[in-house]
Each structure stands twice: as C-alpha cells, then as structure tokens.
A and B are shown apart, each in its own frame.
Chain A
Amino acid sequence: MALMQISEPGSRVSNTNQKKRAIGIDLGTTNSLVGFRAQNETIIINDDFGNVLVPSIVHFPLEGKYLVGKSAEIFRESDPKNTVASVKRLLGRGAEDVVEQPLSYPYELDLSDERFLKIRTRRGSFSPVEISSEILKHLQNKAQSFLEEQVDGVVITVPAYFDEAQRQATKDSATLAGMNVLRLLNEPTAAAIAYGLDNNEEETIAVYDLGGGTFDISILRIVKGVFEVLATGGDASLGGDDFDFAIADWISESLSLKIGKNTNLQASVLSTARIAKEKLSNPSNHDDVNIEFMSKTLTLTREKFSKLTELLVRRTIKACRRTVRDAGIGFEEIDNVLLVGGSSRNFNVRKEVKKLFGIDPKYDLDPDKVVALGAALQADVLIGNKGANDSLLLDVIPLSLGLETMGGLVEKIIPRNATIPISKSQEFTTFKDGQTAMKLHILQGERELVSDCRSLAHFELRGIPPMVAGSAKISVSFRVDADGLLGVEAQELSSGKKTSISIKPSFGLTEEEITRMLRDSFEKAEIDHEQRLLTESQVEADRLIHDIQGALEQDGENVLDEQEIKMLQLNIKDLKVVREQSADRNLLVNLTEKLMKSSETFAERRMNFSIKKALSGKSLDEVET
C-alpha cells in the first residue's frame, strides 16, 4: 500500500468551487433597474433616497464625468440638448427609421451618416450604443459598490419585439461597458420567472408589458420549466412616453402655447405632464389633478385623462387581440395575465385588460421591478449558483455525456438530468510508456460500453511529452452552455498543450430515441455492469502482459535464467489464452494475479540490476550530483 500525502484542492468539479456573482439588468426606455439574487431573496438595488428606478438618462456637462440617472434628470428641463433620454428607442435603428417616425426628441439627432444615427451634444456626437453603455456602466457600478465585490456576469432584458439589430446593439452596449453578458432575456420570460410560473407543470400566460417606450404583449407556454414563446406582438414605439406626449399636447393646446422649436418649453411641458400622469395612475388616488403651469392652473379630470389616453390603450388592446390570434389559441386557454411596466398602473389599462381576457390580471409584484427580479434570478442560475432548493429548472441534459476509456468503456463526465449550464472536469492519464498523443471520443448515453452509446465526436490531443505510462496528467473538461452547446477541452497539465471541440449534443435525437436509450440502460444495467467488470479485468491483463513482455525483451536475459524465463512466458501464454477465448472474469483475475506474483522476483532483480548499472563505474561524487 502506497502512502498518501494531502494535496491542494483543484482537480475536482470546477463549478462548485466558488460562488459567483451575477446581476440582472432591466434596461428600460424610461427607467432601468439592477438586481441580484441573495441567499433567500432577490434584491433590487436602490439609491440613497430609496429609489430603485434609475432614469435612463445621460447628461453631458460642460466638463467632467457624464452624469447618469437622477443626477442627469435634473438637467432635462434646463439643458435638454445635452441630456439624452429614451435612447433605447434609437438602439439598433438607422437614420431612415427615425425620419419615418417623426417623434419629437428634445435633443438633436445627427443624421449625417445614413447607417449610423448619432446624437449631437456639446461633448460630441454619440451613438445610441455608446449612450446605453454609459447607463449600463452606471448600473454595474451601483451594484458593485452595493455588493462590495466584482460582478462576474450580467443578464440584460430586451423586449420580445426587438429584432436582431436591436439585440446586437444591446449586446454591444454591454460589451462596451466591459460586461460579461450571460444572456439577453426576453422581458416577458423574465416576468414569468419572477412570478415563479416556471415551476408550474403546464401553463399558458399572457404578459402585458407597457413600459416607458415600448409595448409588448407576449403569449408564452410553460411546460415543466421550459418556455415556449407562442407569439409576440406589440408596438416598439408606444409607451408611457406617449401618454406624456398626449397630456403635454393637451396642456399646450389648452394654454395656447407655441412650442415650435423651443426645446426648453417642450421639456418643461413634458415633465409637468409626467407628474400629472403619475399622480393619476397611483391606485390610491381617486381625485382629479390640478396642473400649474406658467402661473395658470388646469384641472386634469380622470375622465379627461381616460379620453386622452384611450386611443393609446385601445392600440394595446388591439395588439393583444392580434397576438392571441397569432398564437393560435383562444382567450379561454390563457391561465394568467401578468401586468408589467410602470404604465400598466394606469387604471384604464387594468380595466381594459380584464375585459379582454376575462380574468383578473396579476399585479402583486411591483410592475416596475418584476422584469429586473426575473433577470436577477436568471443571472444567478446562469452563472452556476444552483441552490439545492431554489434551482430553476430551465433545461436539462437528456443523456449523460462522457468519454471513451481503454477497453471500449464509457466514463461519464456529466450525468443525465444535470441542469445547464454546467462544467465538469476530470483527469486522465496515458496508457503506454512514451505515449505522445491521446484520442478523445465523446459519447452520449447511459450504457457502460462505447458500442451501446451514441458517438458525438472524435478529436486528438497531440504533443504530450513522452512519459512513463500513468504519469502524464490530462485534464478533460466538459462544458455545456446555456444554449445546450457542448464544448470539450483536453489539456496536458505539464506542457499546457490543449485542444478543444464543440458540439451540439441534442442534435438529431428525437424524444423516442432518448426514451429508448434510457430504457435500455435500465434493462441491461446488470449485463452492462458485468461487462464493465470483465472489460476492466481484460484491460488490466493486457497491460500486465504488455509490461512484462517489454521487460523480458529488455532485461530478461540479464537477470533471469532460462528456466525462469520459460516459466514466465508460460504464465503469459496461459493468461493470453484465457483473455482471448474466455469470458470468465474470475479465471482471468486469478491468472492475472498469478502472473503478477510470478513476476515479482523478476521485477525485484530488474530493479537491482538497473541500479547497479547506473552506479557501476562511477565515483560516489558523480552519483550524488
């Protein structure tokens, strides 16, 4: 028995080693939020004044750092040209998109480059991506100073309505901010996760998301934690901002204001309108609102407000109807309706949504926070912190993934039903002396033998420094990312040489095939186990025969007499015959042991011989150095 020493940890499963920190960001048109998953709750980070909402506004002052959030909002009225709000509307948009949609922005657009729209400020022209990235940086800093630790990854939500260009622009903003984007998550999916609906067996939900600048209606089907988007619809240019515009128009009309190009006046009318809207949307308020503007007073009644916003709400309801039809289901099939986004507080919205779907919509989670809550939960799962109790089952590996080892056996690295993403590594070694390459065969399945599993890929690791069999250390790591993509990397630890491959393991496998492979593995478990033991013994016998034959060729005649050599060769022959012709494991094991025993003297003498050889003819000084 060899004596053991304690070693440093490291070669074991890598994803359980350290808790990583990931944050979720709801990058909104009007407001953004950032949250994270703590031990037992999800926390949305607030500022010193208790506000969780960070206005998605960037201000470019004369000099010094750009301002983001509340400190930028202050300048919205006094310096609208250098204060950029609602930039999300411009993300991934070209100049022509904006010309077609002549919405009033209080800041100047730079349309000189047709493909890339920019915003002209006193500090230069900036693309929407650059401005978004300032907001993201601000949110990340906020999280890092709150958590007092580095953030390893981030999930950012986007409207389901976003096209590829807009998604890419969002990702670019994050990359520019130096973030590691784990995933872009659709806002309705985030909302459903926040409500815990992903734990239900089967459910169809509608998510009505009326934010500052976008309206989304999404129909999702959730089956055992897996989300399927049945249909999405909405309007990428309709939101609370438009409610503000509608009220602002009414104010300027009633007071006969001539706004024209007066951006200062426009901005102050807008913010007056917003304050009035927020007061009216507060569920505890049942009164009319008085608006004071330029020393005149106006009364905005609830009826008037309803009327002003009626068209906008009706547009959302129409979009809902269309989307449910697109989903190919009836309204009665929808189990839950979630209200998301600050503007869904509008009493008109609740009333109309209830009327349309025929059920009470859910709004018990703060509609402003709900998307960020879901993003934070998802971020925590994606970074690999799966608690035993609160693990979100998003996607699992249907069959185990493993590697072929000597004798055609399968060594499983990632077990079936492991939630993804996951990463695991294991060390392997060489089988023969001086082996410089290793063939890696990646397999999928539950059976013990390579021939019973599904082959996914082959690749080779070359350039292993020649060493005695068993002393090279080759670390093979399997990684399955959130999209189900398997990456395998093999690295020889002393030389650092590595090679890798990536595969889509679920490709081409149907549900029936998976079921069949699973059933087989149970039915044949015992045969497989026997086969595995037999193969292991065979591999052991092969190795012993190989070693002793090699040693005999090299030193046999130097240390053994003819009789002894004959004896050994006889034992080898016996073992070989059984190895080739019999499936009797016990016999094989016995003969292997016998050969091992009979070679002990040989091994001893050989050792002495080689020491003698190394020492003879040398002075003591030479040997010691």
Chain B
Amino acid sequence: MSITITSNAKDHLKRSVSERNKGLGVRLGVKRTGCSGLAYLMEFVDVLSDEDEVYQFDELKLVVDKKSLIYLKGTQLDYVKDGLNEGFEFTNPNVKNECGCGESFHV
C-alpha cells in the first residue's frame, strides 16, 4: 500500500461520500497548475477510467490514476483542524519544496 490514510481522514471521507449520496468514491490526484508546479486534487468519482488504481479502505474507495501515483507514493492523508480552518492534509515524502501558500509543490 503506497498511500495511507488516518482514521480521522477515513471518517471524514466516508461521511462526505455518504452525504453526497452518489458516486463511487474519492479521487486523489496531482495536477499541473498554471505555469509551474504541481498541486493536489481531491474530487468525487463518478466514473472510473482505465488509468485508475482503486484502493479500498473498508467500504471507502480511494481512486488514484497511475500518473498521479508516481507523485503520491508514500503519501499520508490526514484530516486536521487548524483554528477555524479544517480540511485534508497531504504528507508527501516526494515533495522537495512547496510554494509560499502551500498550494503547489515540486518533486
């Protein structure tokens, strides 16, 4: 297993999927942003494509396409509360540096 999730993250993902009430699961990915750098992507999955790998955590499906997987190997996904803000946090050993706001990163 190359991607791990904390129980906090798992609970929250499960809740989000059941609240949405449709779809297969949640997609984790990496996309190129604008001019340079990579950024994480998290979205619900309605349709699987051929390039997708599916990870099963209990009844929860996490979907990662093979290209993104290269950048996400060993990543831990957590759900954290930080003051008023809460959301998912990626801890990714592949990352060499991040941009100031933390939205994009390099490998």
Contact = CB atoms under 8 A, between A and B. Distances in A.
B44 A4 contact: no
Interface string A1-23: 11111111110110011100000
B36 to A, nearest CB: 4
B58 interface: no
Interface in B68-106: 80, 82, 85-90, 97-103, 106
Contacts of A16: 47, 49-50
Interface residues of B, number: 37
A463 interface: no
Contacts of A7: 41-44
B97 A593 contact: yes
A388 interface: yes
Interface in B29-50: 32-37, 40-47, 49-50
A8 B47 contact: no
Nearest to B50: A388
A4 B90 contact: yes
> Which range contains the number of A residues in contact with the other chain?
20 to 34
A429 B33 contact: yes
Interface string A572-600: 00000000000000000100010010000
Given A405-B35, A411-B32, A431-B35, A6 B86 contact: no
Contacts of B41: 7
A597 to B, nearest CB: 10
Given A4-B40, A9-B27, A593-B97, A405 B34 contact: yes
A1 B36 contact: no
A540 B38 CA distance: 13
Nearest to A592: B97
Main secondary structure of the interface of A (DSSP, over half): loop
B62 to A, nearest CB: 11
A6 B36 contact: no
B47 A18 contact: yes
Nearest to B103: A2
Given A428-B34, A431-B35, A1 B46 contact: no
A514 interface: no
B36 A536 contact: yes
A600 to B, nearest CB: 8
A540 B50 CA distance: 34
B26 interface: yes
Contacts of B82: 3
Given A6-B26, A406-B36, A470-B34, A17 B43 contact: no
B35 A4 contact: no
Nearest to A542: B35
Contact of B102 (A1, A8, A18, A388): A1
B43 A9 contact: yes
Nearest to A15: B49
A406 to B, nearest CB: 4
A407 interface: yes
Interface string A387-415: 01000000000000000011100010000
A414 to B, nearest CB: 15
Interface in A1-53: 1-10, 12-13, 16-18
Contacts of B89: 1, 3-4
Contacts of B6: none
A482 interface: no
Contacts of A596: 100
B33 A17 contact: no
B18 interface: no
A539 interface: yes
A6 B44 contact: yes
Contacts of A17: 46-47
Contacts of B23: 9
Contact of B87 (A3, A388, A405, A539): A3
Interface centre among A3, A406, A431, A536 (most CB of B within 10 A): A3
Contacts of A13: 49
Contacts of A6: 13, 16, 26, 42-44, 88
Given A4-B88, A5-B87, A9-B43, 19 more contacts: A2-B102, A3-B80, A3-B82, A3-B87, A4-B40, A4-B42, A7-B41, A7-B42, A16-B49, A17-B46, A17-B47, A18-B47, A388-B50, A405-B34, A405-B35, A406-B35, A407-B36, A536-B37, A603-B100
Q: Can you list the 4 inter-chain pairs with the closest CB atoms, starting with the nearest?
A: A3-B87, A406-B35, A429-B34, A4-B88
23 contacts: A3-B82, A3-B86, A3-B89, A4-B87, A4-B90, A5-B88, A6-B43, A8-B43, A9-B23, A9-B27, A16-B49, A16-B50, A18-B47, A405-B34, A405-B36, A406-B34, A406-B36, A429-B34, A430-B34, A470-B33, A536-B35, A536-B106, A539-B35
Interface of B: 13, 16, 23, 26-27, 32-37, 40-47, 49-50, 80, 82, 85-90, 97-103, 106
Interface of A: 1-10, 12-13, 16-18, 388, 405-407, 411, 428-431, 470, 536, 539-540, 543, 589, 593, 596, 603
